Amino acid sequence: MKRSNFLQALGIGALSTTLGKDSYGQSLMERLADRPADDLSHHTIQRIRFSNVRLQYPRLVGKNARLDLHGYGPRVEICMIDTNQGAMGWGSLRGSRRDAEKLSAQLVGKKVSDLFIPELGITDPSHIAFDFALHDLAGVILNKPVYALLGQENPIITDCYSGMIYFDDLEPAHQPGGVEKILEECRYDYDLGYRQFKLKIGRGHRWMPFEQGLARDIEVTKAVASAFPDCGILVDGNNGFSVDEFIQYLEGIAGVKLFWIEEPFHETVPEYEKLRAYLKGQKLNPLLADGEADADQQFLNTLIDKKLIDVHLTDIEELGFTNWRKLIPELKKTNTLASPHAWGSLLKSYYTAHLAGGLGNVVTIEGVSSTSEDVDLSGYQLKEGKLIPPALPGFGMRLLKEV
């Protein structure tokens, strides 16, 4: 879906035209324009630099229902924004570096206050490539964590699940580790502090004959639920089932309480209606989560309106931090929860911790355990299943890499 259509589907156009009026008929943008200048107006963008940072997973991450091995961790494209007062903010680059480099000249020489408003985020949607870096920069200048820019002096602390339980029972191909391999990984993640596990399922879509794959999905789910009775179990089919096949899976794990079901099949109204009816008939109430990436936002709104999904999953980088700030209040109106997709980069997990910390309504955060020689990740804590962001300026991650 093209970005312009994507944002239009969300109702996210130019921020100045989407903000509501107060009781005096004055827009929030107009009221903000009347306020005294703050520290952001004292800083002018001097330069924008580009680089990347390496994130390392603690183990090889294997297949899911549709994709082959996911590897040992990404190299994430980033940008750094420097001001004439010596402040620097950085963050993941939204979109391609080439496009961002072309846009960067539009920002150099401008006051930070012209580009970013703490109560809103970026002022121009065309600058979305720099969304995370501008949030970080504003936090650094104002000496506030990003969750405080969103209005929460003390962060709302949110659950965090391990999103790294893939089909590692099938690896290595010459000597597969089997179900015990999955249990080993869950034990490792439990010791890191997770109390929720998201299990990838759908082995029969591509990697095993369907009946064998289904049997393994069921075996893995039961084994993890039995071994970790104090943990929540999430399952993610990556659209690898039909609705009838997925109901077979649910029948096979009877007695296991699922916290949520994610993308069991490609989203359609009739199939979700059939799944809802089955769950209701069995007196089961897992959350239904959908909309991970490149989603049709208009169709997601249809599913939400029909009460067919409970959790909105669009990727935090795909949508952008400012747009997620706008979307959360709209989801609250429909009693729909959020859990921005964060797979691939721990930076995205930590960005989500600030979004949740400042606005709430995030039911759980996708955890992507990683280490890095390029970024100081030590400010964040994972304790008894909760991800706690640091009370440090911006996103609280110091860039160690020399650029």
* Angle, alpha carbons 124-336-323 (nearest 5°): 10
18 pLDDT higher than 60: no
196, 244 Cβ separation under 8 angstroms? no
How confident is residue 294, by pLDDT bands cut at 50, 70 and 90? confident
Cβ-based neighbours of 35, under 8 Å, separated by 6 or more: none
Q: Which two tokens stand for residue 225?
A: 């639920």
Residue the block writes with tokens 């929540």: 232
How confident is residue 296, by pLDDT bands cut at 50, 70 and 90? confident
Size of the chain in residues: 403
pLDDT at 37: 44
107: nearest Cα among 136, 81, 140: 81
Segment among 37-51, 60-74, 136-150, 370-384 with least mean pLDDT:
37-51
Q: What percent of the chain clears pLDDT 70, i.e. is strictly above it?
A: 90
Q: Which two tokens stand for residue 90?
A: 């950085």
Cβ-based neighbours of 200, under 8 Å, separated by 6 or more: 63, 64, 65, 165, 166, 167, 235, 236, 238
Over residues 4-15, the pLDDT tens digits come to: 333 444 444 333
Neighbour tally for 68: CB within 10 Å:
11
Residues of the chain with CATH 3.30.390.10: 3-143
* Alpha-helical segments (H) within 171-209: 178-192, 203-206
Q: Is 61 exposed, middle or buried (0-12, 13-18, 19+ CB in 10 A)?
A: buried
Instruction: Give the whole-angstrom CA distance, residue 402 versus residue 260.
Output: 42
91, 136 Cβ separation under 8 angstroms? yes
How confident is residue 58, by pLDDT bands cut at 50, 70 and 90? very high
What mean pLDDT value characterizes the chain? 92
Instruction: Give the whole-angstrom CA distance, residue 40 versus residue 302.
Output: 40
Q: Which two tokens stand for residue 338?
A: 């959020």
Instruction: Give the whole-angstrom CA distance, residue 67 versus residue 237.
Output: 12
Over residues 71-111, the pLDDT tens digits come to: 999 999 999 999 999 999 999 999 999 999 999 999 999 99
Q: What is the mean pLDDT of residues 130-150?
A: 98
Instruction: Give the whole-angstrom CA distance, residue 309 versus residue 306.
Output: 8
Q: Is 345 left (phi over 0), alpha (psi -120 to 50) or beta?
A: beta
**Domain 3-143 fold:** Enolase-like; domain 1 (3.30.390)
Over residues 331-350, the pLDDT tens digits come to: 999 999 999 999 999 999 99
Over residues 197-229, the pLDDT tens digits come to: 999 999 999 999 999 999 999 999 999 999 999
> What CATH number has the domain spanning 158-399?
3.20.20.120
289 pLDDT higher than 90: yes
Q: Which two tokens stand for residue 8?
A: 């239009």
pLDDT at 201: 98
Q: Is 74 left (phi over 0), alpha (psi -120 to 50) or beta?
A: beta
Q: What percent of the chain clears pLDDT 90, i.e. is strictly above it?
A: 88
Neighbour tally for 77: CB within 10 Å:
17
How confident is residue 322, by pLDDT bands cut at 50, 70 and 90? very high
One-letter amino acid of 5: N
Q: What DSSP designation does 45 have?
A: E
Q: What is the mean pLDDT of residues 175-180?
A: 97
pLDDT at 38: 66
Q: What is the pTM of this model?
A: 0.91
* Angle, alpha carbons 368-371-373 (nearest 5°): 145
pLDDT at 369: 97
pLDDT at 21: 39
DSSP 3-state of 351: helix
Cβ-based neighbours of 386, under 8 Å, separated by 6 or more: 157, 158, 159, 160
Residues of the chain with CATH 3.20.20.120: 158-399
Q: What is the mean pLDDT of residues 126-155?
A: 97
Q: What is the mean pLDDT of residues 168-185?
A: 97
Radius of gyration of the chain (CA): 22
